[in-house]
Amino acid sequence: MSTARVRRPNTARLGRLSNGMLMTPEEFDAATDFDELYCYELIHGVLIVSPPPGESERDPNDELGNLLRVYKSSHQAGSALDKTLSEQYVHLSDSRRRADRVIWAGLGRIPDPKTDVPAIVVEFVTNRQRDRVRDYEEKRRQYLAIGVQEYWIIDRFQRIMTVFRNRPGEPAEQIIKENEICRTTLLTGFELPLARLLKVADDWAGPVRAGKNSGSTRGSAPQ
């Protein structure tokens, strides 16, 4: 029996059963009819359909967004932050990655999400091994290759945050521990206390279970 992937009919509604369908980036960008109970990515021309992120990922992501907006509105250097969006597509040549959060900085204007590469991309790690490999390895390569300057991975299971930098003269990789503060030269004066985000995640998953497993509903898909 053939296992060849099927190309999406132009009129088909996207949903759970669309997982594995072949699409071009142009077809993906033009799609408007889809089941909103799921999240969609295009990975190397293949549509990946997953459940949405769980509460222990969404809530700390919202908290990070709040910290960024407070920085923008109240810090004397806050204008360095142009915009930040959650669950935002990052455009790659043959793919559309759905990042947990993107941050544009240093443009001095409202960014164009389709053409302006984010300065920072943030991902919150899930407890699925395939997803962890994807976040730490494949996404890192893809994001840095298109010019993302910093890639932040927030891992509530290991209780660390990993920062990959894409700029000369700075460490290529930095580990932020639970009781430490993340700072970046891209956002002068911004401080991110990692413990604050982990506490918000623990409110949902529990501090004990957060080190072992999670109630995340995000699905895993072949990459």
Arithmetic mean of pLDDT, 16-36:
95
Superfamily, domain 55-205: tt1808, chain A (3.90.1570.10)
Structural element, H or E, at residue 98: strand 96-105
pLDDT of residue 215: 42
Using DSSP bridges, classify how beta strands 120-124 and 96-105 pair: parallel, antiparallel or unpaired. antiparallel
pLDDT of residue 220: 37
For the cut 70, the answer to whether the pLDDT of residue 125 exceeds it is: yes
Structural element, H or E, at residue 60: helix 55-74
pLDDT tens digits, 94-115: 999 999 999 999 999 999 999 9
- Residue ranges of the domains in the chain? 1-52, 55-205
**147 burial via Cβ count (<10 Å: 0-12, 13-18, 19+):** exposed
pLDDT of residue 154: 98
Inter-CA distances, 189 with 150, 185, 192, Å = 16, 8, 10
Following CA atoms 12, 16, 20, 22 in sequence, which dihedral angle do they give, to the nearest 10 degrees?
20
Task: Look at the block and give the residue holding tokens 């443009």.
Answer: 107
Rounded Cα distance between 127 and 53, Å, is 11
Task: Look at the block and give the residue holding tokens 């991309």.
Answer: 121
For the cut 90, the answer to whether the pLDDT of residue 176 exceeds it is: yes
pLDDT tens digits, 34-55: 999 999 999 999 999 999 999 9
Is residue 110 within 8 A of residue 82, CB to CB? The reply is yes
Tokens of 61: 């992501």
